[in-house]
Amino acid sequence: MSSKNDLTTHTSLQRLLFYLTKSFLICMENKVAILIFFLLQVQDIQSPGAKYYVYLGGVGELQIKVSIWGEIASSGLYSIPDGTDLVTLLSLAGGLLKGANLSRVELIHSFPIPCKVNVNLSKFFKTGNREGIPIMKPGDMVRINQTFFSKAKGFTHNITEATLVVLVYLQLYNMLKK
């Protein structure tokens, strides 16, 4: 699953495709155009809303609430046992996505004084040593950023989709113009 920014861009492209096709139908009123409309029509993707997860720990175990988003399988608000570290939270959230930047994970502490800490998880994933992995605190927020390559790949994918839409409409326009 892609990040929310990619999902928003993808949804915007789908809406653009839908409205361009609808405009094309109104202008051309052609059976071929109607067939193309039904072939190209796409359902609007509903952006997945925030989710709330509860880890059912032991009886009487203190639970804290933390949130995580970005390049993670299941972003949302998590209720986890006090003393849970960042790596365990990532596991509870389904793990990192392919384009996750391990060297620049942002951890934002809300209490007592708000501050942002950049965490480098590359060393942990190479060695398995949990030294230096932060323990989550109540109200913490974690953001998993994309790698530059992943951002560039998403950008080129969006440009390719937009170009294909334009080429299809130009081709249809030229066909129906004759």
For 11-80, the DSSP string reads HHHHHHHHHHHHHHHHHH--HHHHHHHHHH--PPPPPP---EEE---STT--EEEEEEEESBSS-EEEEE
Q: What confidence score (pLDDT) does residue 101 get? A: 92
Within 10 angstroms of residue 105's Cβ, the number of other Cβ atoms is: 25
Q: How much is the pLDDT for 71?
A: 93
pLDDT number for residue 117: 93
Q: Which two tokens stand for residue 171?
A: 């081709």
Domain ranges (residues) in the chain: 4-46+158-177, 52-149
- Taking 50 as the pLDDT cut, the residues of the chain under it are 1-8, 31, 33-35, 38-47
**Res 47: pLDDT:** 44
Cα separation, 1 vs 164, whole angstroms: 22
Per-residue b/e over 69-104, b at no fewer than 16 CB within 10 Å?
Answer: bbbbeebeebebeeebebbbbbebbeebbebbbbeb
Give the chain's radius of gyration (CA, Å): 23
Question: What's the pLDDT score for residue 171?
Answer: 87
pLDDT for residue 2: 46
- Assign domain 52-149 to its CATH superfamily: Outer membrane lipoprotein wza domain like (3.10.560.10)
